[in-house]
């Protein structure tokens, strides 16, 4: 038997949409299972402290491209990418 890549979401109905809002220096992430991906790519993260964005992960914009490639190409996740002025 050949080795099979482990994926968090095996079935299409389990692949939740990921929402990424990109600002000038930071990006805000919302979606299931993102901490695992950030750890895999060794992307530093923190939780946003602002009351309007509570629960959103915050990362630097210079690493968003790496995360997009992993989510869209390898794991076939749907990503909604928006720009914000914050």
How far apart CA 39 and CA 22 sit, in angstroms, is 20
3.20.20.70, 3.40.1170.30, 3.40.50.1370, 2.40.160.100: CATH of 13-83: 3.40.1170.30
Residue 11, both tokens:
């079935």
pTM here is 0.77
Instruction: Domain ranges for the chain, please list them.
Output: 13-83
Give DSSP secondary structure letters for 9-73: --SGGG---EEEEE-SSEEEEESTTHHHHHHHHT---EE--SGGGTT-EEEEGGGHHHHHHIIII
The pLDDT tens digits along the chain (86 residues) read: 455 555 555 555 456 889 999 999 999 999 888 999 999 999 999 998 877 777 789 999 999 999 999 998 888 888 999 999 87
Measured distance CA(12)–CA(76) in Å, rounded: 8
């Amino acid at each position: 038997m050949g080795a099979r890549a482990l994926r968090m979401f095996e079935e299409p109905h389990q692949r939740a949409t990921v929402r990424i809002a990109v600002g000038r220096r930071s990006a805000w992430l919302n979606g299931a299972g993102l901490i695992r991906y950030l750890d895999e790519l060794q992307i530093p993260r923190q939780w946003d402290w602002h009351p309007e964005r509570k629960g959103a992960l915050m990362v630097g914009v210079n690493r968003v491209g790496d995360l997009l490639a992993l989510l869209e190409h390898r794991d076939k996740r749907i990503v909604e990418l928006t720009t914000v002025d914050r």
